[in-house]
Amino acid sequence: MEKKFYITTPIYYPSANFHIGHCYSTIIADSLARYKKLDGFDTYFLTGSDEHGQKIEKKASEAGLEPKEYIDKIVDNAKDLWKKLGITYDRFIRTTDEDHVDAVQKIFKQLYDQGDIYKGEYRGKYCTPCESFWTESQLVDGNCPDCHREVQEVSEEAYFLRLSKYQKRLEEYIEAHPEFIQPESRKNEMVNNFLKPGLEDLCVSRTSFSWGIPVTFDEKHVVYVWLDALSNYITALGYNSDDETLFKKFWPADVHIVGKEIVRFHTIIWPIILMALDLPLPKKVFGHGWLVIDGAKIAKSVGNYKDPREYIDLYSADAVRYFSLREIPFGSDGNFSEDALIARINSDLANVWGNLVNRTIGMANKYFNGNITNPHTTEEIDTPFIEAIDNLKKDTDAKIEELQVSKVLESIFDVLRASNKYIDDTTPWTLAKDETKKDRLETVLYNLLEAIRVTNILLKPFMPESTAKVEKYLNSQNTRFEEAKFIENQTYQVTDSPKPLFERIQKEQ
Ligand code: ME8
């Protein structure tokens, strides 16, 4: 069977320029997509923007622009940011794209025709910044449970999706598929806080604003934003269009990467929409934690952030990618600060990786004019070192499967650290002083080059620019994922004077 992998990020609201939090989800998805692609999977990676709704309408009118004009600028800015960060999406879907609009209208009509959507009256609490409706019981001290701001009482004619009809089926599905909601703590939260108390039907249309996809058979209604937004994961692949090739090939998604605050929409509402459409459910929804600054979520509505390009320009895209992926453990929150970013660059990228590459290539040049083969003059200390290199891919594969990206990097950096220790233990500079130890010296350097080569292959998905540099320095033909193992015999002719991969950053006081 052909190996395929379909991964998505949330489609972000273009109400303001994207920040480092959006970068975080997108970097994880990009790295997983690159990993799978390099590992031989036919991969599709989707990201985009969620462009309808009252909040965007309001923002645009405050700026004196039409909604689409207002959004176009933000989307251009986002695409530039993704380019600078090395994000290799296959499609950037915009919910104003014609094919999406058309497909959503068809979905709405189908669900109405089959009785899953019905007309009623909406009464409830609405949080405008979060674009979320809440029931009285979900409010915290009378305020929005997500952002803690005031909510408004609203009442209007609206269409509803019958969530209640599918509740039992969904509970059974979640029970039978323990890997569906990741990490497990989020699964328990969904089941206990949302499913067990019972689902209320969901409002899926509005008449109080007009910036949305019109309901074809009742034109004063526009599709309310979550039905519009969630459908992007299938409309992007051509669902309900003349050409469903991509949809047939890639659906169901292998994983939806989302922030923890929208797991609820992806594991309750989205599966129910799919059940109603008689489509298979995504295999996994991964709800990651937040990047926080001094305990507060980095958010557009709080404004506590800089343009991510400032960090990219100062420290490189790879450093920002590495920091985001490494600093935040599976599913937890992680603190974002420039000091923490610099500390990671110095401790891991410069001191461990950069240092190993420089020392090894430097010695290969100094002692052998950069030309190294394997004389197989081995000693006991080599065995565990070579084993660690050989087993690394198995280890990273398993952790990728569990979406433990931070642990993948930890494993790779363990091998890089072990390599520096191997230098300290074998002391090549002492071997160099003794003509009879020449073969041993060359064996040591060969083993080190193998460690650099194999770790470099596995680091490619995470740090594409720096690994491309190391690949040039090593000048080896064996750069593919299937070659991420210790190769006994090859000839290295390494570059003569590599620039340091990462400079140590001295922070100005
Ligand atoms: O929710 N830390 O869009 P949005 C980590 N349009 N991730 C963060 C973050 C932070 N501080 N801040 C934002 C929406 N994110 C909807 C989604 S999907 C069908 C519709 C990331 O612009 C994280 O992935 O509010 C979060 O879920 C998403 O941005 C929210 O982006």
Tell me how far apart the terminal alpha carbons of the chain are, to the nearest angstrom: 58
Ligand 1 neighbourhood includes 12 CB (under 6 angstroms) = yes
Ligand 1 neighbourhood includes 39 CB (under 6 angstroms) = no
How many A from CA of 91 to the centre of ligand 1?
18
Query: Which residue's CA lies nearest to atom 26 of ligand 1?
Result: 259
Q: Which helix (H) or strand (E) is 318 found in, with range?
A: helix 317-327
Structure confidence at residue 449 as a pLDDT band (50, 70, 90): very high
Strands (DSSP E) found in 317-474: 334-335, 371-372
Token pair of 73, please? 């600028």
Q: Candidates 290, 293, 306: which one to mutate for ligand 1, based on the most atoms within 8 Å of Cβ? A: 290
How many A from CA of 22 to the centre of ligand 1?
6
Query: Which residue's CA lies nearest to atom 21 of ligand 1?
Result: 22
Residues 33, 319 contacting (CB under 8 angstroms): no
Rounded distance between C-alpha atoms, residue 484 and residue 481, angstroms: 5
Tens digits of per-residue pLDDT, 306-331? Answer: 899 999 999 999 999 999 999 888 78
Strands (DSSP E) found in 332-468: 334-335, 371-372
Q: How far is CA 271 from CA 47, 49, 77, 280, in A?
A: 19, 21, 32, 8
Ligand 1 neighbourhood includes 256 CB (under 6 angstroms) = no
Structure confidence at residue 209 as a pLDDT band (50, 70, 90): confident
Nearest-atom number in ligand 1 for the CA of 229 is: 19
Residues 181, 287 contacting (CB under 8 angstroms): yes
Q: How far is CA 201 from CA 90, 183, 228, 262, 371, in A?
A: 34, 26, 16, 18, 70
Nearest-atom number in ligand 1 for the CA of 233 is: 19
How many A from CA of 266 to the centre of ligand 1?
12
Structure confidence at residue 116 as a pLDDT band (50, 70, 90): very high
- pLDDT higher at 299 or 96: 96
> Which of 219, 231, 205, 209 minimizes the C-alpha distance to 117?
205
Query: Which residue's CA lies nearest to atom 16 of ligand 1?
Result: 12
Tens digits of per-residue pLDDT, 264-310? Answer: 999 999 999 999 999 999 999 999 999 888 777 777 766 667 899 99
How many A from CA of 194 to the centre of ligand 1?
20
Query: Which residue's CA lies nearest to atom 28 of ligand 1?
Result: 259
Burial class (CB in 10 A: 0-12, 13-18, 19+), 114: exposed
Nearest-atom number in ligand 1 for the CA of 232 is: 19
Give mean pLDDT, residues 393-404.
96
Q: Which helix (H) or strand (E) is 296 found in, with range?
A: strand 296-297
DSSP strand pairing (492-493 vs 371-372)? antiparallel
Query: Which residue's CA lies nearest to atom 10 of ligand 1?
Result: 21
Tens digits of per-residue pLDDT, 157-186? Answer: 999 999 999 999 999 999 999 999 999 989
Helix (H, G, I), strand (E, B) or coil at 391: helix
Does the pLDDT at position 1 exceed 60?
no
Give mean pLDDT, residues 410-418.
98
Give mean pLDDT, residues 337-347.
94
Does the pLDDT at position 2 exceed 80?
no
Residues sharing a CB contact under 8 Å with residue 375, sequence separation 6 or more, in sequence order: 439, 442, 443, 446
Q: Candidates 22, 26, 228, 285: which one to mutate for ligand 1, based on the most atoms within 8 Å of Cβ? A: 22
Query: Which residue's CA lies nearest to atom 31 of ligand 1?
Result: 12
Nearest-atom number in ligand 1 for the CA of 292 is: 11
DSSP-derived letter for residue 340 is H
Helix (H, G, I), strand (E, B) or coil at 255: strand
CA atoms within 13 A on the CB side of 253: 30
Residues 71, 49 contacting (CB under 8 angstroms): yes
How many A from CA of 93 to the centre of ligand 1?
15
Token pair of 128, please? 């405008």
How does DSSP assign 426-439, residue by residue? H-HHHHTT-GGGHH
What residue type is 455 in one-letter code?
T
Query: Which residue's CA lies nearest to atom 3 of ligand 1?
Result: 12
Does the pLDDT at position 498 exceed 90?
no
